[in-house]
Structures are given as C-alpha cells and as structure tokens.
Amino acid sequence: MGSSHMKFFLKLTFLLGLTSSLPGLMSSGVEAADLSVYGDLLFGPPSQVQSGTSPFELRLGAVAHDPKSPEASSADLNAELLFGKLATSPDSLGNLLIPRPHIGATINFIGKTSNVYAGVTWDVDIYHGLFLEGAFGGAANDGYGGLMVPAGHNAMGCNMSFRESASIGDHIDEKWSLMATIEHYSNKGFCDPNRGLTNYGMRLGYAF
C-alpha cells in the first residue's frame, strides 16, 4: 500500500473514530491539545483549502440504514450536489452564516425507505483542513405514511419530512474532501406516527 493510500486510510479511521467517541471525549475532559497530537500527524500544517470556495461539489457515499430501527441491516447510497453560497459578506462572521443550497437523495436498494431532499448547508473550517457541517431542509420519502405499517418497515407517518444532518470532514486537497455524516429524517409530529429515520456513514466529495 502506497504512502498516499495509507494516509487516506488513516484519515478515514480517524474521522470515524472521532465521530463515534466525541461524546465520551467531551465528558471525560480530554483537551484539544491531546487530539492535536494525532491531528498533526495525519493532517500536517494548517490547510489553505476552505469550505465554500467552489461553486459546486458532488458528494457520493454509503450510509448504514437506520441500524436501530425495523429497517436495520441494509445500506444506502447517498448522492448530493452542493452549490455555492447564496451571497458573500465582507465580514467573516456574516459570511459564515450564509448557507449553501443542496439537493440530494439517499437510496435503499432492498425496498426500505428512500428519500430525496433539498435544503441549505452551513460549514466552518476548524483545524488543519478539518471542517464541520450542519444542514437543514425538507425531504420526500417512499415509505409507509399511514397507520398500517408492515413488519420490517419504519412508521414514517407521512411521505414528507424534515431532514437534518451533521458532518465532520477533511479537505484532502483543493478538489477532494472526505466526511463522516449522520442524517435524520422526521416529520416533527405533524403526522402520526413519527418513527423517523437515522442513517450514518462516509461520503467523498469532489469540487468542480
């Protein structure tokens, strides 16, 4: 395995481990300096690549399909197109608050609930190429929206829902990024029942 492939694999492992262990690290009082030792080894000097600098970015990835639900034990394909910022601001804080529109889909291939979605994304660069993202919007699903839900399927309540997602990622270079993502679909109680859907996995982005 070449050095570039090894570094990519280590970054992937680091992001997955950091995402899964973040609550425990916070509660145990681990300081940022402790994490920076590993970050310096993997991510090197501070990156000049910043989120939101490209007008378009295509993301593709695989996510575990709601592992704690009746629809568990399958995986989905996620595809997303992220656009440039709606506007720009000379103020750094103001620019941070301006979102980027997105459209996407999370598709299941064995008959479980799939979603198409659209919304806006906020991102911030935090450390040596690492970045955080949060997104919010609406979605349409092909799941069971009524009260009669077959075994092995989530009770979605209705076929329209809200979508929230969070990601932690790394700008590999000016074009490529790697991110660990969790997404949640819910109708927020507007329909009954409201089991919702929560997926998580990895995505690779390419900026045009």
E-assigned strand segments in 95-175: 100-108, 115-127, 130-141, 160-171
- Domain architecture of the chain: domains with CATH: 47-207 (2.40.160.20)
Better-scored residue on pLDDT, 38 or 64: 64
Check: CB of residue 155 under 8 Å from CB of residue 144.
yes
- The pair phi, psi for residue 4, each rounded to 5°, is -65, -40
pTM over 0.85: no
Q: Which of 56, 23, 17, 67 shows the shortest CA–CA distance to 38?
A: 17
**pLDDT tens-place string over residues 169-182:** 999 988 999 999 99
* Least-confidence region, from 3-12, 54-63, 123-132, 149-158: 3-12
What b-and-e string marks burial along 25-44, b requiring 16 or more CB atoms within 10 Å of the CB? eeeeeeeeeeeeeebeebbe
**pLDDT tens-place string over residues 70-81:** 999 999 999 999
Residue indicated by tokens 């659209």: 118
